[in-house]
Every structure is written in C-alpha cells, then in structure tokens.
Amino acid sequence: MKRLLTILILTGASLTHLTAQTNNSPYSILGIGDLMDNYYGRTSGLANTGFAYRSSWYLINNNPASYSSIDNDMYYGEVGGVAKFVNYYGANVNIDANQSFDITFKKLVLGIKPTKHWGTSFGLLPFSSQYYQFNQPVLAGSGNSPIANLSFNGSGGVNRVYWANAYEFFHHVSIGVDLSYLFGSLQQQLILQDPNVGSEFSSTLNNVYLSSPYITYGLQVYGKIGKKIEYSLGGTFSTKTGMTASLSQIVRAPDSAVLYSGNFPNTTFTLPTTIGAGFMITYNHKYRFLGDYKFENWASAGNPNSSNNWQNNGGSILNTGGFLYQFQNSERISAGFELSNLKTLSTGQSNVLYESSFYQAGFYYTDTYLYVYGQPIRDIGATLGLGVNSKRSRLSYLISAQYGVKGESSVQLIKEKYLQFNIAFSYRDAWLTKGRKFF
C-alpha cells in the first residue's frame, strides 16, 4: 500500500505542472459543453469501445459490471492525461489564429477486489468540458463599419466522482452499478468593446454551478465457444437525471465598477436516458474484436428553450435551444481490434500465460446532441494504441493516438480537425500480501 500512496502523492504533485484546457471548442458554448466519450485507459486505442470488455489487468470504466474481472486480492491505480492539437476551418475563422494546443490531466481511479466475486472502483473522471473564445462585430443599420465588438469567452466543465461495484454470478454473469456525483461550474463572459482600441464599454460575467447524483447500471454476460473462442456481451443504462443549476451574475461598467451583482433562482438541466450495448469476441486469448452502440435520448429530456430559461442578451445562459440550434438524440457507433503479445512465464510450480504488450486500432462515428443551422454536428475519427506491461515492475504504460473531424466548414459552422494523444499509467499489486505474484 505504501507504493500506491507514493504514486498518488506524485500524481497530485504533477497536477501543478499540467495546464487547464485551452483548446478552443466553439460548439462547447451550447448546453454544458462537450460531453466526454474518452475513458483514458485500456479502451482508448479501441476508439473507447468497451461495454463488453473484461480485464484482469486494467480498470475498465466503460461498464461498471467489468470490475468483477480484476484479480482477487489485488489493488489497482490508474492515472491519465491528454495532449491535443486542433485546427479550425470556416468562412469566419481567422487564418492567423486557427490552431490550438493543450495538455490536460484527465483521470485518477482506484480499484480493488475484496472478495472472489466482488470488485469495486472509485475515482475522478471528466464528464463535460467547455472552452471557447470568439468575437462578433456589432453593425449599425446597413453600414459595414462596426460600432462595437462583442467578445464571448467561456471555460469550465463538469466532473464525475464515482464509486462503482460489480458482482459476478455463476462465473458467466456480472452485474454492476456506478454511483456518481456530478459537480462543476461554467464561467461565461460577454464583453462589449470599442472595435478600434479594444477598451470595454461593459462586461457581464455569469457563473453557473451544476451538481447532481448520477447512476449507471451495467450488465455483462460471457463464456466460451469451444476451446479457443471467448465471447462477452455488455450493456449499460443511465436514467434521466436533472442537474441542479444555479447562476450568479456580475455586470461591470467601463471603469470596472459593479453595476449589478446577484443570484438567480435555481433551474434544472436534464441529462437524458442513455443506453449502451456492445460485444467482444476473443480468439486464442490473443485477438479481440469489439463493437459498441450508444444512444442518448436528448429529444425527450425536456430541457427548456431560451424563452423559458435564464435570459442574457436574448439567449439562455445554458443555450439549451434557440432559433438556429437545438438538442437532438445522440448516437455513437464504434469498433475496435486488439492484438495481444503473449508470453509463457514459469513460476517454478506452473507456467502462466502473460501479456507483455498489445496493439490496438479503432473507429468511431458520432451524431452529437447538437443540431445547429439545420445540420447535425458529427464527430468522426480513428484511433491507434499501444500498451506495455512491465515485467520488472507492477506498472503498465498505455499510449494512443486519436485523429478526428468534428462539424462542418461553412459560413455559419466551424470544422475542427484534431489530433489527440492519450497517455495512461496503470499500477497493480497485491494487498494484504494475499494476491498472486508471478514476477
């Protein structure tokens, strides 16, 4: 346990050297920002395909039912981060400022197998992220010269702290439940500026605080077909959940004097019913083929449009619906392939099949929950991954590359082309000196 505590202390210290998100994400101005589909772990190189994935070496956060597959009397710790490059394309994009880059810490999770059939995990993961910066000129009548400039700035996001448990029945069925608490804040600033010198006429700062319990149920059914084929079927279900949203607002004059400061009555942002299903086929312990499908029922979530929510210059603070944009049902399809490099290790009493490394590839297609200017905002991409399980220590190293395209390039819309590198470290060891140690 001392080694695990050391890792956690080093992880905490490393957070001071990692920057917060600074990648401009224009579509994150809508709703509670960009929803996270990345788990920053074993399934990242598989396009995060993993509702049916089971592993004795890693914590699989895709499905809470997976935690019953970790080794008995072992404890696990995983941390992860992301480096992301983005290019932006569109008729109104400044070609001299169309790139961004950031490095962000994303994941801290722990897991343990207290009994033969019960696995549990807890930790911190991102749920959504918001960061945007853009300007809009204000024109007088039919003139072409702007009389002012509107600067829109937003940052923040929602985090998820969770405690998940899984229990195995009959060696072929695992049931899990993830009890999470969502919390976070969104900072949104609107500045009215002089178009020539950039001095401020006025500014409005909105701070939106969001929180709610959130529950996800999971199921996995698995077994063998003959001697060399193993199968696993998995599914998850999250109920419709209303997040409490509170707003504080400060309006300042050009000299920074406070013109208004106050709080608004609480409102609710509703997360939709979400269903996920997937499969995994393993051949000869070495080759894995996976597929996932996820559906989010945003259309029936019942989020108010701008006429029923907090108002700010003609639009709602959470931007849940308006004349040119609205929420739509979201669907995500992904597939992955994994190749394990297996070695036989002698323990003195028997031979053990040991995975020294693995290679991954994946593809994903997402219709996001945003429908803007008559077009669904899609996110399409592919991934490659590599993992190494160290023989000399209890550490495993994972790195994956993800390339994707989000949105469309047009007069009204922006296309994002991004390259993202996911890096994760996993540590496992015996607790109470009971676990199996083969090396």
pLDDT tens column, 132-144: 888 888 877 666 7
Distance CA 326, CA 398 (A): 38
Place of tokens 């993800």: 402
Which segments of 241-329 are extended strands (E)?
241-252, 258-271, 274-283, 287-296, 311-312, 315-316, 325-327
Predicted local distance difference test score (pLDDT) of residue 273: 96
Report the C-alpha gap between 147 and 360 in whole angstroms: 54
CA dihedral 76, 56, 64, 293 (to 10 degrees): 130
Instruction: Indicate whether 291 pLDDT > 60.
Output: yes
Please name which of 347, 360, 432, 344 lies closest in space to residue 399, comparing C-alpha atoms.
360
Cross-strand pairs, 417 = 87, 405
Query: Looking at domain 2-430, which of 3.30.830.10, 2.40.160.60, 2.60.40.10, 2.40.37.10 is its CATH number?
Result: 2.40.160.60
Partner residues linked to 75 by β-bridges: 112, 429
Measured between alpha carbons, how far is 75 from 435 in angstroms, rounded to an integer?
9
pLDDT digits 0-9 by tens, 158-193: 999 999 999 999 999 999 999 999 999 999 998 888
Paired tokens of 179: 């009890």
Tokens of 216: 């996800």
List all residues 6 or more positions away from 55 whose beta carbon is below 8 Å from its beta carbon: 42, 66, 69, 70
Q: How far, in Å, CA of 285 to CA of 353, rounded?
A: 9
**pLDDT band of 325, cuts 50, 70, 90:** confident
User: Higher model confidence: residue 16 or residue 185?
Assistant: 185
* Mean pLDDT, the chain, whole residue set: 86
pLDDT at 342 over 50: yes
Q: Please determine, for residue 347, whether its predicted confidence score (pLDDT) is greater than 80.
A: no
Which has the minimum average pLDDT: 12-21, 83-92, 353-362, 375-384? 12-21
Select the more confidently predicted residue: 140 or 30.
30
User: Which sequence spans correspond to the domains of the chain?
Assistant: 2-430
Residue 403 has pLDDT above 70, yes or no: yes
User: Is 174:66 a contact under the CB 8 Å cutoff?
Assistant: yes
Question: Which residues have CB under 8 Å from 101's CB, separation 6+?
Answer: 22, 23, 83, 84, 85, 86
CA distance readout (Å), 132 to 27, 66, 102, 383, 406? 8, 36, 13, 25, 15
pLDDT score recorded for residue 133: 86
pLDDT confidence of residue 224: 95
Cα–Cα distances (Å) from 436 to 72, 75, 393, 432, in that order, read 8, 12, 14, 11
| Per-residue pLDDT, 316 | 54
* pLDDT value, residue 399: 96
What number is the average pLDDT over the span 352-378?
A: 92
Distances (CA, A) of 75 to 106, 136, 168, 408: 20, 52, 18, 45
Are the C-beta atoms of residues 98 and 89 closer than 8 Å to each other? yes
Provide mean pLDDT across the span 236-257. Answer: 92
Give the number of other Cβ atoms within 10 Å of residue 167's Cβ. Answer: 17
pLDDT at 14 over 50: no
For residue 45, the model assigns a pLDDT of 96
Nearest to 408 by CA among 26, 19, 5, 17: 26
- Given this model, what pLDDT does residue 64 score? 98
d(C-alpha 289, C-alpha 372), whole Å: 35
Residue 6: the pLDDT is 45
Return the pLDDT at 13: 40
422 has pLDDT over 80: yes
d(CA 152, CA 317): 12
pTM across the whole model: 0.87
Is 406:366 a contact under the CB 8 Å cutoff? no
Most confident of 12-21, 285-294, 338-347: 285-294
Does residue 401 surpass a pLDDT of 90? yes
Quick check: 412 and 88 in contact, CB under 8 A?
no
At 390, the pLDDT band (50, 70, 90 cuts) reads: confident
Mean pLDDT of 35-51: 95
Q: What is the mean pLDDT of residues 26-50?
A: 92
Give the residues across from 170 on adjacent strands.
Answer: none
Per-residue confidence band for 323, with pLDDT thresholds at 50, 70 and 90? low
- 432 pLDDT tier (thresholds 50, 70, 90): low
